Amino acid sequence: MLASIRSWSGREYRLDRMTLRELVIAYFTHYSIMVYLALAVIAIVLAVRVAPNWWQPLLGVGLVFLVYPFAEYALHRWVLHARFLYKNPLTAKVWKRIHYDHHQNPHDLSVLFGALYTTLPPIFLLSLPLGWLVGGASAAFAALATALLAFAGYEFCHCVQHLPFTPQNRWLREIKRRHLAHHFHSEQGNYGITTNLWDRILGTLYDRQRDVPRSPTTHNLGYTPEERARYPWVGELSASDEEYAFKRTRRMS
């Protein structure tokens, strides 16, 4: 773990300049991915140890597979793209870290991965109670393991969508094309990362860019200069980041 953190420290990972092999190495050495995989293994062991039969853990697994696509869509659309987070000084830093920075720099791998303090709570809070309801402790642990692995897969799929790489799989190609349109044409649609199922159901899917007008807020997510004047906290944090990056660049040159 410490070696992984050191390997990331002080390095710049630009997805638009990386190969698939470089991405795989960076992905599996990132501390958050290592945490998800380690916790998933622990949850699987616990699920097996406490399972009174074979079908209860499978109920937890199946339930997560059913719920996960909607959870992914809902959190992306109604939390990450909502504006209430930057309007409060207590949540402005979280919003900046988990989504604003990614839309500002879509190919920067360091801000693409979710921060553990923002990803683990919803994973635990969504999977454990649901699993317990359908099958007790064994289903809860199985649901947690499934959610952790699903989110790790989500992170890799998201990375590939920003990589200069054309997937051979048609489904992956279409998901990637729509996600890039979300970043560079209009952020008001194509919220799915691993599937566009709920985009289709709720009418936010656009398959061709000409189907929707270009959005002026794809990069700032509505945090315009006018909003910055009213709610300055994200702007102040961004200015601090820019000053730090400038000083660091000067020290390295």
Whole-angstrom CA distances from 100 to 92, 194, 198, 204, 221 are: 10, 20, 23, 20, 7
DSSP codes joined into one string, 22-79: HHHHHHHTSHHHHHHHHHHHHHHHHHHHH-SSSHHHHHHHHHHHHHHHHHHHHHIIII
Phi, psi of 95 (to 5 degrees): -60, -40
- For the stretch 18-68, pLDDT in tens is 999 999 999 999 999 999 999 999 999 999 999 999 999 999 999 999 999
Provide the terminal-to-terminal Cα distance of the chain, rounded to the nearest Å: 29
pLDDT of residue 249: 41
Answer whether residue 122 shows pLDDT above 80.
yes
pLDDT of residue 239: 77
Identify the residue with better confidence: 5 or 104: 104
Averaged pLDDT, 138-167 = 96
Answer whether residue 231 shows pLDDT above 60.
yes
pLDDT of residue 109: 92
Phi, psi of 86 (to 5 degrees): -80, -10
Any bridge partners for residue 14, and if so which? 108
pLDDT of residue 240: 61
For residues 233 and 243, give the distance between their C-alpha atoms in angstroms, rounded to a whole number: 16
Identify the residue with better confidence: 45 or 244: 45
Q: Is 109 helix (H, G, I), strand (E, B) or coil?
A: helix
Picking from 180, 156, 155, the residue whose alpha carbon sits closest to that of residue 103 is: 180
- The pLDDT confidence band at residue 3, using thresholds 50, 70 and 90, is very low
pTM of the model: 0.89
Domain count, the chain: 1
Average pLDDT, the chain: 90
Q: Which domain holds residue 230?
A: 2-252
Quick check: 241 and 119 in contact, CB under 8 A? no
